[in-house]
Amino acid sequence: MLEIRNLAVDYGKHVALQGVSLDVAEGETVVMLGANGSGKSTLLKVIAGLVRPREGASIGFLDAPLLGRKAHEILERGVALVPEGRGIFPELTVAENLLLGAYPRRARSDEAANLAKVFDLFPRLAERRRQPVATMSGGEQQMVAIGRALMSAPRLLMLDEPSLGLAPVLVGELFEVLATVRESGISLLIVEQNVRISLSIADRGYLLEAGRIVGEGSAATLADDPSVQHAFLGVASDA
């Protein structure tokens, strides 16, 4: 479904990604694990059309090239990003934020049905639909951000550190919801430092270190891999 080959990104002299190739199959959940500054957010931004890579890379989505397309065209094709720090509008209400997500042409006619699905997934958001998002808790704001991305009816949903800043019990709830999203057939590409919980819902994962992919495998293999445990599990396992 998503096919990335030979991706490199430079920020001035700093090389943020180098020789990155990866795949996400239809219906698959893939986790990209990496420490701070390894290039995880950069990768998602390139896919979403927000950062331009070096010449020589290719990104295909459903057999059509994505590179060079504008962010709104990529969303129109069914690739949605829940950015790090959520990117929601704090002064607007829950419902207003969600409806903003429905702007791709493809999603507009199903707006009411998609809103019902989001409220089904996050009953809390239905209760609070008229509340300004600024007054909601961090976990609730993350729900709004994910709900808004789902309003665009994505085929591939990308999440940038969804667990960041959430209490352990909320992280558990969040990943239960993501498991439900996954069941609905949407492919997921999740960037995380929380190794244990993200591998628990994933099919496969990659390890990113200083902009390069240094390992990949099934979720089960990675969870048992001593180098993964050494690199991450001791640091961010129970966050």
Ligand X SMILES: Nc1ncnc2c1ncn2[C@@H]1O[C@H](COP(=O)(O)OP(=O)(O)OP(=O)(O)O)[C@@H](O)[C@H]1O
Q: Which residues bind Mg ion (CB under 5 A)?
A: 40-41, 84
Question: Which CB sits closer to ligand X, 38 or 152?
Answer: 38
Beta carbons of 56 and 215 less than 8 angstroms apart: no
Nearer to Mg ion, 40 or 204 (CB): 40
Q: Does 97 bind ligand X (CB under 6 A)?
A: no
Q: Which does 37 bind (CB under 5 to 8 A by kind): ligand X, Mg ion, none?
A: ligand X
| Minimum CB–partner distance for residue 123 and Mg ion (Å) | 30
Least Å distance between CB 162 and ligand X?
12
Closest CB 40 distance from Mg ion, rounded Å: 5
For the record, the structure tokens of 146 come out as 């994910």
What are the Cα distances from residue 46, in Å, to 73, 81, 105, 190, 227? 13, 11, 22, 14, 28
Written as six digits, the tokens of 38 are 């390894």
Q: Indicate the burial class of 96 (C-beta count within 10 angstroms; 0-12, 13-18, 19 or more).
A: middle
Provide the edge-to-edge strand list for the sheet that holds 29-34: 79-82, 156-160, 187-192, 29-34, 204-209, 212-218
- The piece of 34-42, 96-104, 113-121, 223-231 that touches ligand X (CB under 6 A) is 34-42
Which one-letter amino acid corresponds to residue 215?
A: G
Q: 42 touches which of Mg ion, ligand X, none (CB within 5 to 8 A by kind)?
A: ligand X
CA–chain centroid gap for 45, Å, is 10
What does 11 bind: ligand X, Mg ion, none (CB cut-off 5 to 8 Å by kind)? ligand X
Select the residue interacting with ligand X from 40, 128, 155, 182 (CB under 6 A): 40
Q: Is 85 in the site for ligand X (CB under 6 A)?
A: no
Number of other CB atoms surrounding residue 169 within 10 Å: 9
112 binds ligand X (CB under 6 A): no
Residues engaged in binding ligand X (CB under 6 A): 11, 14, 16, 34, 36-42, 84
